[in-house]
């Protein structure tokens, strides 16, 4: 909680992003809206402060890794596309 830039550590870059967008409405996570209430405010700052200097454990998924479920979905995507069936008449110019 508090890792705004998703680099695995809650640090100064995260605090800087939150500070730059402090008071913003219709904000998202990358602006510092850590509690998803669409605004960057003291509650978000408090959440970041409570986790400042914390990092993900070494056993966490390395950056750039794709979870197996996501890889399976990407691999099967072409199979999920609708296919047009051809009737026998298509071969001879008949609909």
Per-residue confidence of the chain (95 residues) as pLDDT tens digits?
889 988 999 999 999 999 999 998 888 888 889 999 999 999 999 999 999 988 887 655 555 554 544 444 455 445 545 555 555 665 555 65
78 within domain boundaries: no
Provide the domain count of the chain: 1
| Host domain of residue 50 | 12-71
Asked whether residue 4 is assigned to any structural domain, the reply reads: no
- With respect to residue 32, please indicate whether it lies within any of the assigned structural domains: yes
pLDDT at 70: 46
Residue 5, C-beta contacts closer than 8 angstroms, at least 6 positions apart: 13, 14, 17, 30
Q: Is residue 38 part of a domain?
A: yes
- Which pTM was predicted? 0.58
Please check whether residue 95 lies inside any domain of the structure. no
Distance CA 48, CA 57 (A): 18
β-bridge partners, 63:
none
| 91 belongs to a structural domain | no
């Amino acid at each position: 909680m508090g890792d705004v830039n998703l680099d695995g550590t809650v640090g100064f870059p995260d605090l800087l992003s939150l500070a730059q967008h402090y008071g913003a409405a219709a904000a998202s996570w990358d602006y510092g809206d850590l509690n998803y209430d669409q605004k960057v405010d003291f509650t978000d700052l408090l959440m970041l402060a409570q986790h400042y200097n914390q990092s993900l454990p070494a056993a966490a998924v390395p950056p750039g890794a794709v979870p197996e479920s996501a890889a399976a979905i990407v691999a099967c995507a072409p199979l999920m596309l609708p296919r047009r069936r051809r009737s026998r008449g298509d071969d001879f110019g008949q609909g």
